[in-house]
């Protein structure tokens, strides 16, 4: 099969990124700590205007609009700062997958994503050296309706595009013509014969790849069971192909299931430096910085630490309870239910955040669960419900933020339902992977993409407030001092420049 005419030369390999967009990570329920990859066959490449064949007897063909990087000069052990110089072109691509073979592939995606024609690319190239890689926009349409939109800003991307080049070059040589597919935002879903999928990458107002167009068709397929696996689907593959369980027409899960595309070790983490900064700043200061960015619904209302002076910093692991219903509690309340599974699998540095609908008239955890979380290294628990065995939980030493004590068991008010999904805790939305910080003032939620910036700005404001407090203590008026303006502002800048801070 001839390679697409827009490409400068035949690529030796196509490398695809599993998860790179914040919106996709939120949809999947797990945010990768570092990039992970899989290979696609170069024979899967196709021109714009071609067809996407869904083999007869299969049902889960899904599109993924992506930004493709085309390597212009060999890259081996290049730094992050040098990496973008090795990218010659950027264009649109569609990382098409047949989820009917995804389980059989066991993470390799060989049969599900390397079929002929499953990597359409083009139709035009954008000069990578003439653009800012953080100003690209990606959009996908199905039958003329916009279904995906994302950009490569720091707020949207988990990793900058150049990081994929630098990272891969540590392990293999990226040759001229090689292609890197850089992940898809939320919105990917199932397509059927007759659908037309279009993908465009552009720098708004400047340059564009044009719309990459592909039409879905039905094709004949005779898979021989004597030679290899037959296509098959289950609810997990339907959920992932459609994007979520609701879109797939499935009921909510009663427990968390891992994403086959995500390696278990790629759990969200905070760097020691960022954790140290967040521990040094009060939630009041962090809250002010979030509000300055226009994020106001950030406080988990009504929850406070069991032990005064507690500081908690970690990554959100979510758990959701539904309102109590006797028949559902019979089917979902016993055994290793969703609640027990979360406490039994929580990872070091994670904070279990529980949605209990601000209903405090039942315990949402007790001493055994708290002990299990403590042993596994959890950073803490936040619940907008109650805690039973209150004194025993407190003695365990696990940071717990709650409305207060209640002696009754879970089934009185709650049904443990699902986990690792977006929840509402204390009137604040919490997405798995968010940063959770708690102290005596309460608990706040920080979007992971801006956590480092918020921490740094809040630390700077804390230093300024300390300087102001010293001046107030010496008898100065608040006028023009809080915050510093005019001569006071200059005095503070002189203080910073003096090296006495």
488 in a structural domain: no
Q: Are residues 383 and 442 in the same domain?
A: yes
For residue 497, what are the contacts with CB-CB under 8 A and spacing of at least 6?
none
pLDDT of residue 251: 79
* 291 annotated ligand binder: no
**DSSP-assigned states of every residue in 17-50:** ES--BHHHHHHHT---SS--EEEE-GGGEE-TTE
Same domain, residue pair 67 and 111: yes
State the Cα–Cα distance between residues 450 and 434, nearest whole angstrom: 10
Q: For residue 63, what are its two tokens?
A: 């599109």
pLDDT mean values, one per 10 residues, the chain (501 residues): 85 96 83 91 96 94 98 97 97 96 86 96 97 97 96 93 97 97 96 97 96 96 83 85 85 49 46 91 93 92 96 96 92 88 91 96 94 94 96 96 93 91 95 95 94 91 82 85 78 71 52
Give the helix/strand (H/E) hosting 414: strand 414-419
* Domain end residue (candidates: 451, 476, 495): 451
Residues 290 and 216 in one domain: no
In DSSP terms, which residues pair with 455 in a beta bridge? none
**Domain coverage including residue 203:** 14-242
Which residues lie closer than 8 Å to 424 by C-beta, 6 or more apart? 355, 430
Within a domain: 253 = no
Pairwise CA distance, residues 491 & 149, whole Å: 47
Same domain, 238 and 387: no
pLDDT score at 255 = 41
50 belongs to an annotated ligand binding site: no
Residue 418 annotated in ligand binding: no
Q: Is residue 259 part of a domain?
A: no
**Shared domain check, 233 and 350:** no
Question: For residue 254, what pLDDT is reported?
Answer: 47
Which of 9, 207, 2 has its CA nearest to residue 91? 207
* Residues 169 and 288 reside in one and the same domain: no
The reported pLDDT for the residue numbered 501 is 52
Q: What's the CATH code of the domain at 343?
A: 3.50.30.40
Query: Is 249 within a domain?
Result: no
Question: How far is 417 from 370, CA to CA, in rounded Å?
Answer: 19
Is 265 inside a domain boundary?
Answer: no
Q: Which of 451, 470, 487 is the last residue before a domain boundary? A: 451
Nearest Cα residue to 399 out of 432, 427, 439: 439
CATH number, domain at 25? 3.90.850.10
Asked if residue 230 and residue 288 are part of one domain, the reply reads: no
* Residue 314, domain member (yes or no): yes
The verdict on whether residue 389 carries a ligand-binding annotation is yes
Residues 99 and 206 both lie in one domain: yes
Which residue among 222, 242, 262 closes a domain?
242
What confidence score (pLDDT) does residue 266 get? 38
Question: Does some domain include residue 485?
Answer: no
Whether 227 and 89 share a structural domain:
yes
Q: Specify whether 237 is located in the same domain as 281.
A: no
Q: How many domains, in total, are found in the chain?
A: 2
Asked if 205 and 315 sit in the same domain, the reply is no
Phi, psi (degrees; rounded to nearest 5) at 336:
-85, 75
Alpha helices in 101-146 (DSSP H): 102-105, 110-113
Residues 195 and 291 grouped into a single domain: no
499 in a structural domain: no
């Amino acid at each position: 099969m001839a390679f697409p005419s827009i490409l400068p030369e035949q690529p030796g390999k196509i490398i695809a990124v599993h998860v790179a967009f914040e919106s996709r990570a939120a949809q999947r329920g797990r945010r990768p700590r570092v990039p992970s990859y899989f290979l696609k066959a170069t024979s899967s490449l196709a021109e714009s205007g071609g067809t996407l064949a869904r083999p007869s007897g299969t049902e889960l063909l899904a599109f993924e609009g992506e930004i493709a990087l085309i390597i212009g000069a060999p890259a081996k052990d290049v730094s992050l700062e040098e990496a973008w110089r090795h990218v010659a072109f950027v264009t649109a691509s569609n990382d098409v997958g047949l989820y009917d073979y995804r389980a059989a592939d066991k993470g390799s995606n060989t049969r599900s994503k390397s079929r002929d024609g499953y990597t359409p690319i083009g139709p035009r190239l954008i000069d990578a050296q003439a653009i800012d890689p953080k100003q690209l926009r990606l959009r996908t349409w199905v039958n003329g309706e916009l279904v995906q939109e994302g950009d490569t800003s720091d707020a949207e991307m988990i990793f900058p595009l150049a990081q994929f080049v630098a990272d891969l070059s540590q392990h293999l040589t990226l040759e001229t013509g090689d292609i890197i597919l850089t992940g898809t935002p939320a919105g990917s879903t199932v397509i059927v014969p007759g659908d037309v999928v279009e993908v465009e990458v552009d720098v708004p107002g400047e340059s564009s790849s044009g719309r990459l167009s592909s039409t879905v068709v039905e094709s004949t397929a005779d898979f021989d069971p004597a030679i290899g696996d037959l296509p098959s689907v289950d609810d997990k593959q339907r959920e992932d192909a459609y994007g979520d369980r609701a879109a797939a027409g499935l009921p909510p899960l009663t427990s968390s299931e891992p994403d086959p595309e995500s390696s278990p070790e790629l759990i969200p983490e905070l760097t020691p430096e960022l954790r140290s900064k967040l521990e040094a700043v009060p939630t009041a200061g962090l809250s002010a910085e979030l509000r300055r960015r226009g994020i106001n619904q950030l406080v988990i209302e009504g929850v406070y630490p069991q032990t005064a002076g507690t500081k908690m910093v970690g990554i959100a692991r979510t758990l959701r309870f539904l309102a109590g219903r006797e028949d559902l509690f019979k089917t979902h309340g016993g055994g290793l239910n969703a609640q027990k599974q979360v406490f039994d699998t929580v990872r070091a540095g994670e904070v279990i955040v529980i949605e209990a609908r601000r209903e405090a008239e039942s315990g949402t955890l007790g001493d055994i669960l708290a002990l299990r979380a403590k042993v596994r290294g959890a950073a803490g628990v936040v619940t907008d419900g109650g805690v039973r065995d209150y004194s025993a939980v407190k003695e365990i030493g696990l940071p717990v933020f709650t409305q207060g004590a209640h002696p009754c068991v879970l089934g009185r008010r709650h049904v443990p339902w699902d986990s690792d999904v977006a929840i509402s805790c204390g009137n604040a939305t919490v997405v798995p992977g968010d940063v959770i910080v708690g102290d005596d003032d309460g608990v706040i939620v920080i979007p992971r993409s801006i956590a480092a910036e918020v921490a740094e700005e809040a630390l700077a404001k804390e230093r300024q407030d300390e300087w102001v407090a010293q001046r107030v203590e010496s008898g100065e008026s608040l006028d023009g001092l809080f915050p510093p303006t005019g001569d006071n502002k200059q005095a503070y800048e002189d203080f910073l420049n003096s090296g006495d801070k």
